[in-house]
Amino acid sequence: MGLSESVPELSLEEILKMRGEHISESLSIGHGKPLHITRGEMQYLYSRSGVKYLDLVNNVCHVGHCNPHVVSAGQKQMAVLNTNTRYIYDGLTQYIQRLSYTLPEGLDYGFLVNSGSEANELAIRLARAYTNNHDIVVMEGAYHGHTGMLIDLSPYKFRGPGGKGIAEDWVHVAPVPDTFRDNSRDYLNEFEGIVRDAKPIAGFIVESMLSCAGQIPFPQGYLAKSFELIRNVGGLCIADEVQVGFGRLGSKMWAFEEHGVIPDIVVMGKPIGNGHPMAAVFTTKEIADSFKGMEFFSTFGGNPVSCAIGMAVMDVIEEKNLIENSKLMGELFIDGLTKLKNRYEIIGDIRGKGLFLGIELVKNRSSLEPAPKEAKLLVEGMLSKNILLSIDGPRKNVIKIKPPMVISKEDVDRTIKSLNEVFSDIE
């Protein structure tokens, strides 16, 4: 194919055949069937055959698929300069300063990298460098990234399909305070025991609301107390805001703010670049300084194009009041879902905040027996109505709602109406 020729259009069958020949099966296809998507626009995805899907899955395209302001910022910068942090350019410092202003005072020092995994690796390295300790505490069911160290720190993976179990004696797994399934346990007491029995702890890495573990918000007080326990033994607290940051929970920019805690290190990813590969780690000067001596360099991290895109994402969040929209749309969802819960026994729990919600399906509200088959049927039923949803949680029975933050009341009403029809079919 020459410079002047465009890429030939392939049929779905041809693409699938080529995938089989060149792409490992470990890369799964979502939604239970291959969707051949050729265009995205705000909260919608369009298939090659022209079907318009309402996207309730992609929390990466935070300010909307192909948001014109973000696209234009990237295009303009790409036409002028793209280099790396060893040069001086306005974008880097202005962008890091802008992000730091959204964080509690003291978390002023930012490192820009390319993915949530790279950012979490860096956060763990910082915690170890600062404390001179090695052990890490994680939550059961958590996913923090795909690198070697992060698979060891992701029970979602090491206990999941193909996983080899807990590999390392430096990893300590705390139980999820899942008060829907069991509110008789003293989860903080169990956490305290884990901290007591561990070797010297470098840090506790935790999502400010649990995602892969089943869309579970922390009970009030849990993060404050667990942070205190970690700090008492000299460890650092790392908030992984890769899924829940940038206002997704509505009303606040960062999900940890819901709990009145201030982490030592904050990790940002996914929505930060609206689909452009970037991520960030913020911390205090003292902790950042623990890298003294060894240069930090990530070839693409913080390049001028990424900074321009990151700035544009922030513009849209602020100018379009997307955090407020998340709050309002989340309330509408909860209201509609609560009505459905009163109608359908299969809905065991509705939880979450803003545009990060979970619907846990159970066969029976007393035994709480999970209903993963019905969850699958529900997602398939919604797909036939051109609405994209996904499933997660250790029992594969939690429907996740985490759309681009630009969805409207019409989208929410349509979703609730469609859910009503599909639940009625399932029951």
Task: Name the residues that contact ligand PLP, by CB under 6 A.
Answer: 115-117, 120, 143-146, 207, 211, 240, 242-243, 269
Contact 31, 382 (CB under 8 A): no
The answer to whether 244 and 211 are in contact (CB under 8 A) is yes
Shortest Å, Cβ 386 to ligand PLP: 25
Query: Given strand 236-240, what is the order of strands in its sheet?
Result: 109-113, 279-283, 265-268, 236-240, 201-207, 135-139, 171-174
> Cβ of residue 40: shortest distance to ligand PLP, in angstroms?
18
Closer Cβ to ligand PLP, 240 or 411, answer by number: 240
Calculate Rg over the CA atoms of the chain: 22
Those residues with Cβ within 8 angstroms of residue 337's Cβ, 6 or more apart along the chain or in another chain? 347, 350, 357, 359, 416, 419
If the CB atoms of residues 77 and 115 are measured against ligand PLP, the closer one turns out to be 115
Identify the CA nearest to 278 among candidates 5, 73, 9. 73
End-to-end CA distance of the chain: give it in Å, rounded. 53
Nearer to ligand PLP, 327 or 402 (CB): 402
3 state SS of 122: helix
Is the CB of 280 or the CB of 314 nearer to ligand PLP? 280
Distance in angstroms (rounded) separating the CA atoms of residues 61 and 70 = 11
Q: Give least dist CB 58 to ligand PLP, A.
A: 12
| Residue 236 and residue 195 in contact, taking contact as beta carbons nearer than 8 Å | no
Give CA 132 to chain center in angstroms.
29
Candidates 79, 109, 77; CA nearest to 90 is: 77
Residue of closest CB approach to ligand PLP:
116
Question: Least Å distance between CB 46 and ligand PLP?
Answer: 24
Q: Residue 131: name the closest of 232, 242, 239 by CA.
A: 232
Nearer to ligand PLP, 144 or 341 (CB): 144
Cβ 93 to ligand PLP, closest distance in Å? 24
Q: Could you tell me the smallest distance in angstroms from the CB atom of residue 351 to ligand PLP? A: 17
What minimum distance in Å lies between the beta carbon of 122 and ligand PLP?
12
